[in-house]
Amino acid sequence: MSRVAAIALAFVVAGCKEAPLAPTSPLDFNPQAANGPVMDNRWSPISFVAANTCLLESIAVSGKAHISTSIWSDAGRLRVRGHINLNLVGVGLSTGRVLQLMQVSNSDFELDVTSGASESSQVFVLNVITRKDEPNAYATINGTFVFDPGGGSQFFPKKWTFTCR
């Protein structure tokens, strides 16, 4: 995996709060029958410093993140779908160059509350666009993590690309 793809993945991980440990035994769970999904939409301010390896400098990034989440359960299964859309501005720390960052992330998490087994699919697309005739960065990270409480958990990468062009 390229260094920039690893950095992009670090952004995704850094944006998440510490999650509780995955279950290792069946859960005590009372499904929310026919009430439908619990949905949440919000805008959250975001700022961080990131490395831009296409331009060989760090950038200060700021803006707002649109985060939407749907959570529902049925017949012993819990499902969480999330979508994050970022449209941010970055400023080069050494040159002052201005960049546009656009990111779309989708996740789909499903948990069998009886066994504790779960599966999570993730898609992460990031474009960092310069306002001049300089290289732009394009990253795509797509894969599925399967958690088996009895062992044998595995990550299945589908598409991992990073290009400067």
Residue 20 lies in a domain: no
Burial (CB count <10 Å: 0-12, 13-18, 19+), residue 150: exposed
Domain count, the chain: 1
Residue 106 lies in a domain: yes
**Is the pLDDT assigned to residue 164 strictly greater than 90?**
yes
Residue 76 lies in a domain: yes
DSSP per residue, 71-85: EEEETTEEEEEEEEE
Residue 29 lies in a domain: no
**Is the pLDDT assigned to residue 26 strictly greater than 60?**
no
* pLDDT tens digits, one per residue of 44-96: 999 999 999 899 999 999 999 999 999 999 888 999 999 999 999 999 999 99
Residue 51 lies in a domain: yes
Contacts of 50 (CB under 8 A, 6+ apart): 7, 11, 58, 59, 61, 90
* Full domain range(s) for residue 91: 3-14+40-164
Contacts of 23 (CB under 8 A, 6+ apart): 111, 116, 149
Is the pTM higher than 0.85? The answer reads no
**Is the pLDDT assigned to residue 8 strictly greater than 70?**
no
* pLDDT tens digits, one per residue of 110-146: 999 999 999 999 999 999 999 888 999 999 999 999 9
Residue 30 lies in a domain: no
